[in-house]
């Protein structure tokens, strides 16, 4: 917790320049407000001579009132459906969006290359009147795995855009 000092079985929080909130931290219910002299007595009792309590900030001071809402929603998920990574870019997570776009492009290029290899092996098999060779089968399996990875990346990007990177 911010601005809390443990003194023995007590948690001490500085409320302002003159008041301290003291609460039991041993599972029992109990709290009181004291001044600096009361906190000094607790420190002497538990041999804690240094002042380590900071001013606690109110919640309104921690976050500005108007803050740009970050986080996912359906609109960003739909944007990522049409263009992988666009939802992350709209959310302000440029690095994540570009990584997802790059992964999508790399998988697309890999699939294109494997498709050409498979088509070439298939054409040769048809011309020669033979069965598809090992290279053609490997290209077909690689193409299927690449398509699966492409689908997994797309689903991950959509879910990530919806959740807002959580």
From CA 126, how far away is CA 70, in angstroms rounded? Answer: 56
pLDDT at 147: 95
CA atoms within 13 A on the CB side of 98: 4
Query: Do 46 and 124 sit in the same domain of this protein?
Result: no
pLDDT at 1: 40
17 is a domain residue: yes
- Are 68 and 59 a contacting pair, CB within 8 Å? no
Tally of domains within the chain: 2
Query: Do 144 and 84 sit in the same domain of this protein?
Result: yes
Asked if the model's pLDDT at residue 62 lies above 70, the reply is no
Query: Do 95 and 137 sit in the same domain of this protein?
Result: yes
Query: Do 154 and 112 sit in the same domain of this protein?
Result: yes
Asked if the model's pLDDT at residue 52 lies above 50, the reply is yes
Beta carbons within 8 Å of 88's beta carbon, 6+ residues apart: 76, 80, 94, 96, 97, 100, 157, 160, 161, 165
Label residue 61 by pLDDT band (50, 70, 90).
Answer: low
Query: Do 88 and 142 sit in the same domain of this protein?
Result: yes
Query: Do 91 and 52 sit in the same domain of this protein?
Result: no
63 is a domain residue: no
Domain interval for residue 9: 4-56
Q: Residue range 32-37: average pLDDT?
A: 83
40 is a domain residue: yes
pLDDT at 163: 87
* Per-chain mean pLDDT for the chain: 82
The pLDDT > 90 percentage for the chain reads 40
Q: What is the number of residues in the chain?
A: 166
124 is a domain residue: yes
Tell whether the torsion through CA atoms of 102, 103, 106 and 108 is positive or negative.
Answer: negative
The 3-state secondary structure of 14-43, one letter per residue: ECCCCCEEEEECCCCCCEEEECHHHHHHHH
Q: Residue range 116-143: average pLDDT?
A: 92
Kindly report which listed range (19-23, 86-90, 101-105, 118-122) carries the lowest average pLDDT score.
19-23
Query: Do 78 and 52 sit in the same domain of this protein?
Result: no
Q: Best-predicted range by mean pLDDT among 5-14, 54-63, 78-87, 110-119?
A: 110-119
89 is a domain residue: yes
65 is a domain residue: no
Label residue 139 by pLDDT band (50, 70, 90).
Answer: very high
67 is a domain residue: no
Query: Do 93 and 50 sit in the same domain of this protein?
Result: no
Query: Do 103 and 146 sit in the same domain of this protein?
Result: yes
Give the predicted TM-score (pTM) of the model. 0.54
Q: Residue range 35-64: average pLDDT?
A: 67
148 is a domain residue: yes
């Amino acid at each position: 917790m911010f601005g809390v000092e443990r003194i023995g079985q007590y948690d001490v929080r500085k409320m302002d320049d003159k008041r301290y909130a003291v609460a039991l931290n041993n599972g029992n219910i109990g709290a009181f407000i004291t001044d600096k002299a009361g906190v000094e007595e607790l420190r002497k009792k538990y041999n804690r001579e240094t002042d380590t309590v900071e001013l606690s900030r109110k919640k309104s001071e921690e976050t500005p009132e108007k803050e740009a809402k970050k986080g996912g929603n359906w609109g960003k998920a739909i944007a990522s459906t049409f263009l992988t990574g666009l939802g992350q870019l709209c959310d302000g997570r440029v690095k994540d969006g570009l990584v997802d776009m790059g992964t999508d492009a790399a998988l697309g290029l890999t699939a294109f290359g494997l498709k050409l290899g498979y088509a070439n092996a298939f054409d040769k098999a048809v011309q020669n009147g033979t069965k598809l060779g090992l290279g053609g089968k490997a290209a077909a399996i690689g193409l299927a795995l690449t398509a699966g990875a492409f689908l997994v990346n797309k689903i991950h990007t959509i879910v990530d855009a919806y959740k807002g990177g959580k």
